[in-house]
Chains A and B, each alone.
Chain A
């Protein structure tokens, strides 16, 4: 069974984010790392390929400057290979443009199953996976808590407001997985060494046969008109707990008539 996992390489979330003063795009110039949200998809893909008695896990990603450090992390976990789309034309690409690029790249891997996170940690639009499914003419099941392959179909427990739905779909299908549903493995030393020589195919917009007008800022068809400071909350009271901190909480709740 061939599984494609869409992964995003993002600026370290621990570092303060910033917008470019001119384009108002998120600054993505520094070193990028594997989005934590994607580690669950990678782990699930490895487990499902194992359970199916073999198959290949391929990573598909789009990033500036041929960045592969995040991909190497996922390759070290056990993915077999990666397809990276990297092209200066892609600067400023929006979610739909990204979906067009990833869909074209995914097609080359001929997957039975495509996994993605429900949303990235940096841009968090959360629409790209479903846009990819539509562009590829595939069904999709989002917000999966559990994924099981049975022959030629997939059974998913999908998160709902009230609980969860059991959903069944024939393969190929795109599934988005929520965080915390599997425990991503730590790459072993052997895995890290092996990842260095695993194939990473780097493609351009032209390689994918896409028109430059569909991607980048030109394809985005939306613009940021303003960025302003939000109204700040007034500073509150700070109490150091020396054994009686809970009393202050109770007084506060009483004051608000919550108690």
Chain B
């Protein structure tokens, strides 16, 4: 099956397409002659200008969702296009909270599998081949679909670079979602924005993450203080998220965020494969851990074999002294 037309899920935050969407569009340009997007919400016209700049020609606008979560209505709109014979050959979705919902719903509606945790996508023999980082990123697995019908791909952030193509604003066509009955009954009744000081975890140039080696929940304050001194973001290993020390939104790794900062500081993190896959592509990695055999040292450019309770307070004091 040749791939002529690709659709990309255009997730929007603060009035603009998210970076991962732009990354997927950039890659889609290399793989197919036509790249289109699926969007929803209010700012579609200004969003269409940005999407066009990256190479999207047409935006299929599902419109206002009336407080519904995007999963069901967006998947229904895409499925309707596919049934009508106007669908794409492949659908690329960012592996976000909403992107995953859309992919799951769409997969069941179309009875098509999803390839998830994709970190690379190439054209080969008339189809698309995916790459997936497995076992902490020590191995790369390639896969492809074997049956007819549009391929659904859930792609991790930072798998590709986002580069504009200088295209004209995309044209917007209405693609209203058909009624999905009971499946679409959940409603957002209030949105809460949590105060954040400093950069976002997945955009920060410096990420300081803490793990089980911190010993107890209160010690995470050291990570936050260090991150703030370095104008970076505070991350966490799955172990301390599971333990309830910090919320899931801080989690770096296979089941959390992928980060690629200039410097990643892993403090009291042993380096389980689950964690490595989310940070091993950082440009520089510093690890502080008291166990010299910890796997985190295998990916560290600088490893300090020491107790985080001793090293971190001194590091914080020294940074404060430098002003």
Contacts and interface: CB of A to CB of B under 8 A. Distances in A.
Interface of A: 13, 17, 19, 24, 36-37, 94-96, 99, 118-119, 121, 124-131, 133-135, 137-143, 145, 158-170, 173, 178-181, 183, 220-230, 232-233, 235-241, 243, 245-250, 252-253, 256, 258-259
B46 interface: no
- The interface residues of chain B, by DSSP majority, are classed as mixed
A41 to B, nearest CB: 13
Contacts of A160: 97, 191
A139 B303 CA distance: 48
Given A37-B255, A221-B113, 6 more contacts: A127-B107, A140-B186, A225-B142, A229-B138, A248-B304, A253-B263
Contacts of A24: 141
Contact of A246 (B72, B191, B305, B311): B311
B302 A237 contact: yes
Given A130-B101, A223-B144, A227-B139, A258 B280 contact: no
3 residue pairs, one from A and one from B, having the closest CB atoms: A241-B306, A130-B104, A134-B108
B42 interface: no
Interface in B301-317: 301-307, 310-312, 314-315
A236 B297 contact: yes
Contacts of B188: 165-167
Interface residues of B, number: 98
Contacts of B300: 236, 238
B171 interface: no
Nearest to B304: A245
B248 A241 contact: no
A147 B265 CA distance: 34
Nearest to A136: B183
Contacts of B307: 241
B244 interface: yes
Interface string B178-201: 000111111111111110000000
Interface of B: 13, 69, 71-72, 75, 96-97, 100-101, 103-105, 107-109, 111-117, 129, 133-135, 137-147, 154, 181-194, 205-206, 230, 238, 241-249, 254-255, 262-263, 265, 272-274, 280, 284-286, 288, 292, 297-307, 310-312, 314-315, 318-319, 322
Contacts of B69: 141, 158, 167
B254 A124 contact: yes
B143 A224 contact: yes
Contacts, number: 272
- The interface residues of chain A, by DSSP majority, are classed as mixed
A140 B103 CA distance: 13
A18 B273 CA distance: 13
B139 A161 contact: no
Contact of A250 (B103, B238, B315): B315
A118 B248 CA distance: 11
A130 B322 CA distance: 51
A258 B146 contact: no
Contact of A127 (B103, B230, B274, B297): B103
Contacts of A141: 69, 186
A250 B226 CA distance: 12
B144 A126 contact: no
Contacts of B111: 96
B190 A166 contact: yes
Contact of B191 (A36, A165, A170): A165
Contact of A249 (B105, B137, B272, B302): B302
B185 A139 contact: yes
B241 A169 contact: no
A246 B192 CA distance: 38
Given A169-B186, A222-B115, A233 B181 contact: no
